[in-house]
Amino acid sequence: MSKTTVSHSSLISASASEVRAAIRSGSYDGHTAGLAAGHLQCNLAILPEAFALDFLRFCQRNPKPCPVVGVGDTGNPALPTLGRDIDISTDVSKYRIFRNGTLNDEVTDITEVWSDDLVTVALGCSFTFENALLRAGIPVRHIETGCNVPMFRTSIDLEPAGPFSGHMVVTMRPIPEAQVEETRAICARYPQAHGAPIAFGDPADIGISDLAQPDWGEAVDIYPGEMPVYWACGVTPQNVLLDAGLPICITHSPGHMLIADVAEDAETPILKRDIPIQQGD
């Protein structure tokens, strides 16, 4: 029996849990830009417990590209602070599996490689603030054109920790010059989603040679009167993990995020819990 598939456009109005359900069932394996508006989208780093503390130190030292929004228990694929029914082994539309510093596979389910020594670290994603930009009337070109955001390697050094070091990866969005400052102010309200842009203007200033040739994602047009604006990107820790040569690590594929149940503007990403009220004497 053939598997039912759904399109990106058919999921635009779906809830976070509905999008995850479609992904879990194998019905959807596309990018998540523009889906579940108002909900936090997360980059992923899944690695052996022996390396997890150093990786968390690395994230703490590099909060712009690596804003930690959730950490799982060792061996447990749940992320209860981000969604009560999340199973990290099935709820991302595409994963990358790296072994000894080499891309080993790209899959839509990691249940067969999940093990009891793995730890999940969820990191904020720039997709989160895009809805706020759209509400303010600021265009987001890759959403307009239905493609994945362009991502680029840069020459910006990161603060090392243990075996983890490298250079920052950025996303680029063309913004009308008259709206660049408004864009900066809006994005600064989302520190859990990379926050304000890290640069704008000439790509050569941050080591990018050609905006028409992104390292990941798809190129977008820059219209007259627009300026390229750059944000720290969650592909950064993917590169860092790759360079560290871990025996195994698993990440999302670029543009294929975990969608959480928490609001994108939550100051501390954590689900509300039902707490019993203690009756007084």
Q: What is the pLDDT of residue 125?
A: 80
What stretch(es) of the chain map to CATH 3.30.2040.10? 129-235
What stretch(es) of the chain map to CATH 3.40.1640.10? 11-126+242-263
User: In the predicted model, what is the mean pLDDT of the chain?
Assistant: 90
Helix%, strand%, coil% for the chain, nearest 5: 25, 25, 50
Q: What is the pLDDT of residue 106?
A: 96
> What CATH number was assigned to the domain covering residues 11-126+242-263?
3.40.1640.10
* 159-188 CB burial, b ≥16 within 10 A, e <16: eebeebebbbbbbbbbbeeebbeebeebbe
pLDDT (tens digit per residue) in 183-206: 999 999 888 889 999 999 999 999
Q: What is this structure's pTM?
A: 0.84
Task: Assess if CATH 3.20.20.140 describes domain 129-235.
Answer: no
